[in-house]
Structure 1
Amino acid sequence: MTRSQLILILGSIALAVILFQLPRSVVENEQLQEVTESDNHSMEIPQEVENQINELRRLIQEEENIDKRANFAHSLARRFLDYGVVDSAASLADDIESWIIVPSEYVADIYFTAYERSPDPERAKKYAERAREVMQLLLDKDPTNLFLKNRMAMTLVVSENPMAGIAMLREILNQDATNRQAILNLGLLAIQSGQFERAKERFENLISLDAADHEAKLYLAVSMMEINQQSQARLLLEEILATRDSIPAIKMMANDYLKGL
């Protein structure tokens, strides 16, 4: 399994397709060059989004209220992350940290997403560490936040103690046996480690909880393909393609896998 395929599996659907399925190009717009020069895996940014970026930059420069400025910076970082301008997004997280003394969920979100979307393993690991530091502070204040715990677990998986991440995901399921993100993460990690039968069980569990979970169906199909259950995988992929409410990115991936059968 290639690195791109692993990121397709481990990242969110929209992110993975945006960054690793579609063609990439360096942003060449002069107005954006100063903030994108270190990001060489970015996609071409549409004019509409470029206008939003420029407006957000203006608002950040002019806004005196720190909370509002941080909100604008987070919005700008999310735009960058959507188009692979990862380092520029991370620099905005640094800015927010310098404005706001207390741990910020904005900063945690930017660093975690940068970790998910970075094509460079070393940078991804660095972003994971930064995200983990901030999330630990946030969890110290609210240890019941399972959303943050799920993310924390996935950063631990790339640390020197990956089993701590697995243990945290299992701990989440002990607290909430139907926690979708924890089940999904454990399934994705099972795929990454080649435990396709175990992954199949995880995704079947998700589908039993929600028959309309097309993301789980896609990953179930991937797991089945790896254990030579091609006919069942084909049926799942065809079902995804035939469903109107499937996310377009999921349909794209389903179509690609179907072509490979």
Structure 2
Amino acid sequence: MRKSQWILVLVASVVVFSLYVFGRIVPKNTEMPDNGQVAAADAAGQIAPAALEDIVAKAKQSLNPALQMRISGFENSITRGDLRDQKLSAYNALARLWDSLGNIPLSAYYLGEGAKLENSENSLTFAANLFLTHMPHEQDAARRAWEATEAQGLLQQASGLDPQNDTIQVALANSEVQSGNVMQGVQRLLKVTATDPDNVQANLLLGRLSVTSGQYDKAVERLQKVINRQPDNTEALYFLAEAYKATGKKKEAIATFEKVKTLVHDTGFSKEIDQYIQSFK
């Protein structure tokens, strides 16, 4: 993994407010027929993903002519080449180059294209997780939809290689939720918890979705399962505090927010939490 990719993964795992913004799902108080599980969807419907050509063209605009020519050379190598190894070499070169320029989504895209050729479960899931990790930081909705769609395609291929892998299934469900296929993602998560009721990642995502849809009792149930297994899981604690706050349990909400502060160890974050607590205390 490249240095900037490691940094992105580490930051995303710690900064809880980014996780809170992550879903960007408009709450919709609708229950699923299956035990009333959460349903949440963007009020405007699914957003069309941005086109790769437009993303690449915009990224190239800020580069000097030499770099633009170098990138074009690798791109031409892909379109001209019929040999698998030639294409794979060009994909990897473009992934490294975009990574060195700090463009994680395009680096992930070319890593993903190489992973598709290799048909490697590890490479496919790695590239997909780069997309999913970057998505909270992407402000453009169309580009975010593109990242979700790319991640979904990679994870579908990985799932075909290892259909029983719950980690892949949860990641695929996450990509489905982020691409607007919320019900499909929720159903996939429910299949995971049907065979593994205490699955941390599935319960975490279901708990988060329950908060965004206003089903706070279900959120508490799901998130408490996570915390029973991982007492210091900051994302689960944050959303549990939100559920407590929404149901009028101010004392529990404040105590849980305070615990998140001690675990995150970030001055700016602590200040935001303090201000947030004062807003409902």
Report the CA distance shift for 1:203/1:75 in structure 2 as closer, same or farther (over 3 A).
farther
Is residue 173 from structure 1 mapped to residue 174 from structure 2 by the alignment? Answer: no
Per the TM alignment, residue 212 of structure 1 is displaced from its structure 2 partner at its CA by 3.3
Is residue 14 from structure 1 mapped to residue 15 from structure 2 by the alignment? Answer: yes
Is residue 247 from structure 1 mapped to residue 264 from structure 2 by the alignment? Answer: yes
Per the TM alignment, residue 239 of structure 1 is displaced from its structure 2 partner at its CA by 3.3
CA RMSD of aligned residues (A): 3.8
**Structure 2 segments unaligned to the other structure (5+ residues):** 1-11, 22-57, 63-85
Partners of 1:207 and 1:78 in 2: how far apart? 37
Aligned to 2:246: 226
2:205 to 185, 197, 200: 185
**Structure 1 segments unaligned to the other structure (5+ residues):** 1-10, 21-33, 39-63, 81-87
Partners of 1:78 and 1:19 in 2: how far apart? 29
Aligned to 2:273: 257
The answer as to whether partners of 1:234 and 1:258 remain within 8 angstroms in 2 is no
Per the TM alignment, residue 110 of structure 1 is displaced from its structure 2 partner at its CA by 2.6
Give the number of the structure with larger relative contact order, counting CA–CA contacts within 8 Å between residues 6 or more apart: 2
Aligned to 1:49: none
| Percent of aligned pairs with the same amino acid | 22
Is residue 91 from structure 1 mapped to residue 94 from structure 2 by the alignment? Answer: no
The answer as to whether partners of 1:15 and 1:117 remain within 8 angstroms in 2 is no
Larger Rg: 2
1:237 aligned partner, one-letter code: F
1:206 to 214, 226, 240: 226
Structure 1 residues 93-151: Cα deviation after superposition (integer angstroms, max 9, x where no partner): 33335555234324322333333432122211111111111110111011122222111
The answer as to whether partners of 1:190 and 1:198 remain within 8 angstroms in 2 is yes
Partners of 2:101 and 2:129 in 1: how far apart? 13
Within-5 A mapping of 1:149-160: 149-159=169-179
The answer as to whether partners of 1:224 and 1:230 remain within 8 angstroms in 2 is yes
Partners of 2:100 and 2:20 in 1: how far apart? 14
The answer as to whether partners of 1:237 and 1:254 remain within 8 angstroms in 2 is no
TM-score, length basis structure 2: 0.59
Report the CA distance shift for 1:76/1:229 in structure 2 as closer, same or farther (over 3 A).
farther
Structure 1 residues 207-227: Cα deviation after superposition (integer angstroms, max 9, x where no partner): 223333343222211111122
Aligned to 1:114: 134
Partners of 2:207 and 2:94 in 1: how far apart? 35
Report the CA distance shift for 1:238/1:14 in structure 2 as closer, same or farther (over 3 A).
closer
1:176 aligned partner, one-letter code: D
Name which of structure 1's ranges 89-98 and 217-226 shifts more when overlaid on structure 2: 89-98
TM-score, length basis structure 1: 0.63
The answer as to whether partners of 2:94 and 2:107 remain within 8 angstroms in 1 is no
